[in-house]
Amino acid sequence: MDCKRNYIDGEWVASKTNATRDIINPFNQEVIATVTESDEVDTQTAIKAARKAFDSGEWATTPATKRGQIVRTIAQFIERDKEELAKLESLDTGKTVEESRGDMEDIAGVFHYYAELADKNGGEIIDSPIPNSISKVVHEPVGVCGQITPWNYPLLQASWKLAPALVAGNTLIMKPSEITPLTTVKVFELMEEAGVPAGVVNLVLGPGHSVGAELSANKEVDLISFTGGIATGKKIMQAASSNVKNLALELGGKNPNIVFADADFDTAVDQALNAVYFHAGQICSAGTRLIVEESVHDAFIDKLVKRVMDIKLGNGFNEATQMGPLISEEHLNKVIDYVETGKQEGATVAVGGDRPSDPQLQKGFFYLPTVLTNCTTDMKVVQNEGFGPVITVETFQSEEEAIHLANDSIYGLSGGIWTNDIAKAERCVAKMRMGTVWINEYNLYFPHAPWGGFKQSGIGRELGRAGLEEYQETKHIFQNLKPEAINWF
Ligand SMILES: NC(=O)c1ccc[n+]([C@@H]2O[C@H](COP(=O)([O-])OP(=O)(O)OC[C@H]3O[C@@H](n4cnc5c(N)ncnc54)[C@H](O)[C@@H]3O)[C@@H](O)[C@H]2O)c1
Ligand SMILES: C[N+](C)(C)CC=O
């Protein structure tokens, strides 16, 4: 098995430490790859390469149409290699290949979207208050960008950072999660094949406490874009103050999914499952706080539980599998503790609440899809992000109570609302403090619409025009066409 390496200044190189890390398939704990394990010194080498490439001005002054063409070629290569990439993502994360195929389509779509935007953001002439002058606003790249991604959607989250950074003319160093780096390595191969010049994109494989911390603190890095947990985000924010870096944080969520009694009952039940159980609930936007109008609660939970009992756990490579394992033993233990806490707090396990007993699943990090009823907003299990296949259920009697429960969180990433009363939906949405709110829908995202969180779910936006603007500085240029002395002094 060859060892996957860093990509620095256009070369594939092993870490100077000579250390390696085994990458594990969460379905059966088999080693699927070995990768180089880097440290601060490797990171500094990559930062220097990105700095040199940016300061040379070559990429930033490449015409935007040309940068767009290269990004479009990357999209086409992802489409060409979609099946290989999807299988690699599933081996690495345990999610079903069907889900990974969907991710790859989304990822190619993100590269296509930003390729199209590349030459459509050329700045503007603004009305100057001074006669005989020109006032214009232009967009320039921020500079050297550090990009740090999580393990749950490894390549998807990488694409949201790579594509806009490239079309805006930046250079970058990416650090994928040390647990799931394989598809990111592959996309760096595709970026090399597409002709991205040496030094513009750099990849450093390794852990957060060394590689990630160096990227966040190093004064040669102008921007840090991070997707991951709140605790890490806070550390990065502190480290980034070293040189007042630009900062984009995509953090966690504890997302409400509100069901009113007038909603289409069967659709709302079905979508309550979709809101949570994809990728075993390891989704930032998972609608894990189900908030149901009291009058339909019992019928709703009956139907939900029946549907949950039918969810098929297994190897993501089997077509019949609907839910794979959690990412690691460490994470499985966190989910077990999380549910135990809920039970101690008084929640009732309506279904699940344990590991599966199926002998075929014992080597994998599986946890049963779970519904906890009798939950109240003060419980830890309602307030903390569990990041597993666990729904907590609360009830409400009035619109105001539903909104109060939905907003009673340090998070503000996303939320859903199910009702056939459009006026009620609009009233509620106006009060919901979240970056994305779905009405009669859940978990839908696409390249044209911005994504990001209110409150402690983050700072800044990815996707859409806003996702490009994160990678741009705005410059005002004022030119006096008839300069004269003003003789003030
Ligand atoms: N808002 C979003 O769009 C979004 C998307 C996906 C995941 N997430 C969130 O990500 C979290 C799960 O991902 P995770 O467990 O990989 O998160 P994490 O915070 O543990 O790790 C994320 C990345 O940060 C790195 N890291 C760890 N310590 C670091 C440090 N001190 N300095 C710099 N980098 C460091 C890790 O190596 C990894 O690459 C969840 O909270 C989830 O909600 C958010
Ligand atoms: C942003 N999203 C929904 C693709 C993945 C969150 O974990």
Q: Given ligand 1 and candidates 43, 89, 103, 148, which is best to mutate, with the most ligand atoms within 8 Å of its CB?
A: 148
> Which pLDDT belongs to residue 121?
81
> Which pLDDT belongs to residue 122?
84
Looking at the CA of residue 106, tell me the nearest atom of ligand 2: 4
Q: Does the pLDDT at position 220 exceed 80?
A: yes
Query: 451 alpha carbon to ligand 2 midpoint, in Å?
Result: 9
pLDDT digits (tens, 9 = 90+) for 287-344: 999 999 999 999 999 999 999 999 999 999 999 999 999 999 999 999 999 999 999 9
Query: 152 alpha carbon to ligand 1 midpoint, in Å?
Result: 9
Cα distances from 334 to residues 326, 330, 347, 385, 386, in angstroms, run 10, 6, 17, 11, 8
Q: Provide the strand spans (E) within 211-259.
A: 223-227, 246-250, 256-259
Catalytic residues: 250
Quote the DSSP letter at residue 325: -
Q: Given ligand 2 and candidates 282, 285, 446, 463, which is best to mutate, with the most ligand atoms within 8 Å of its CB?
A: 285
Q: What is the mean pLDDT of residues 15-29?
A: 97
Joined together, the tokens standing for residue 275 give: 């809101």
> Which pLDDT belongs to residue 412?
98
Amino acid making up residue 311? I
Give CA–CA dist 200/162, Å, rounded.
11
Give CA–CA dist 74/107, Å, rounded.
10
- Going by C-alpha positions, the residue among 169, 123, 122, 121 that lies closest to residue 145 is 169
Name the closest-CA residue to atom 5, ligand 1. Answer: 284
pLDDT digits (tens, 9 = 90+) for 401-414: 999 999 999 999 99
Give CA–CA dist 70/72, Å, rounded.
5
Q: What is the mean pLDDT of residues 68-95?
A: 98
Looking at the CA of residue 282, tell me the nearest atom of ligand 2: 7
Quote the DSSP letter at residue 175: E
CB 95 within 8 A of CB 324: yes
pLDDT digits (tens, 9 = 90+) for 234-274: 999 999 999 999 999 999 999 999 999 999 999 999 999 99
Binning pLDDT at 50, 70 and 90, where does residue 462 land?
very high
pLDDT digits (tens, 9 = 90+) for 411-425: 999 999 999 999 999
Joined together, the tokens standing for residue 4 give: 């996957």
Query: 186 alpha carbon to ligand 1 midpoint, in Å?
Result: 21
Query: 455 alpha carbon to ligand 1 midpoint, in Å?
Result: 17
Q: Does the pLDDT at position 1 exceed 80?
A: no
Joined together, the tokens standing for residue 396 give: 């409400």
Torsion-angle region of residue 476: left (phi > 0), alpha (psi -120 to 50) or beta? Answer: beta
66 Cβ neighbours under 8 A, 6+ residues apart = none
Average pLDDT taken over every residue of the chain = 98
Q: Which ligand is nearest to the CA of 38?
A: 1
- Tell me the CB-side half-sphere exposure of residue 184, using CA atoms within 13 A: 36
CB 349 within 8 A of CB 393: no
Give CA–CA dist 454/434, Å, rounded.
5
Looking at the CA of residue 233, tell me the nearest atom of ligand 1: 19
Query: 148 alpha carbon to ligand 2 midpoint, in Å?
Result: 15
Q: Given ligand 2 and candidates 107, 110, 155, 157, which is best to mutate, with the most ligand atoms within 8 Å of its CB?
A: 157
Q: What is the dihedral of CA 111, 113, 116, 120, to 10 degrees?
A: -120
Question: ipTM greater than 0.90, yes or no?
Answer: yes
Q: What pairing do the DSSP bridges indicate for beta strands 436-439 and 20-24?
A: unpaired
Query: 251 alpha carbon to ligand 1 midpoint, in Å?
Result: 7
φ, ψ dihedrals at 127, nearest 5°: -75, 115
Name the closest-CA residue to atom 27, ligand 1. Answer: 208
The residue behind tokens 């009060």 is 431
> Which pLDDT belongs to residue 326?
98
3-state secondary structure of 22: strand
> Which pLDDT belongs to residue 352?
98
pLDDT digits (tens, 9 = 90+) for 362-400: 999 999 999 999 999 999 999 999 999 999 999 999 999
Q: What is the mean pLDDT of residues 185-201?
A: 98
| pTM for the structure as a whole | 0.98
Cα distances from 396 to residues 159, 258, 259, 296, 374, in angstroms, run 39, 9, 10, 10, 12
Looking at the CA of residue 385, tell me the nearest atom of ligand 1: 41
Give CA–CA dist 459/476, Å, rounded.
24
Cα distances from 329 to residues 23, 208, 227, 326, 399, in angstroms, run 13, 19, 22, 8, 41
Name the closest-CA residue to atom 1, ligand 2. Answer: 284
pLDDT digits (tens, 9 = 90+) for 24-54: 999 999 999 999 999 999 999 999 999 999 9
Q: Provide the strand spans (E) within 208-323.
A: 223-227, 246-250, 256-259, 289-293
Indicate if ligand 2 lies below 6 Å from the C-beta of 285.
yes
> Which pLDDT belongs to residue 288?
98
Q: What is the mean pLDDT of residues 211-220?
A: 98
364 Cβ neighbours under 8 A, 6+ residues apart = 26, 27, 28, 29, 94, 315, 324, 325
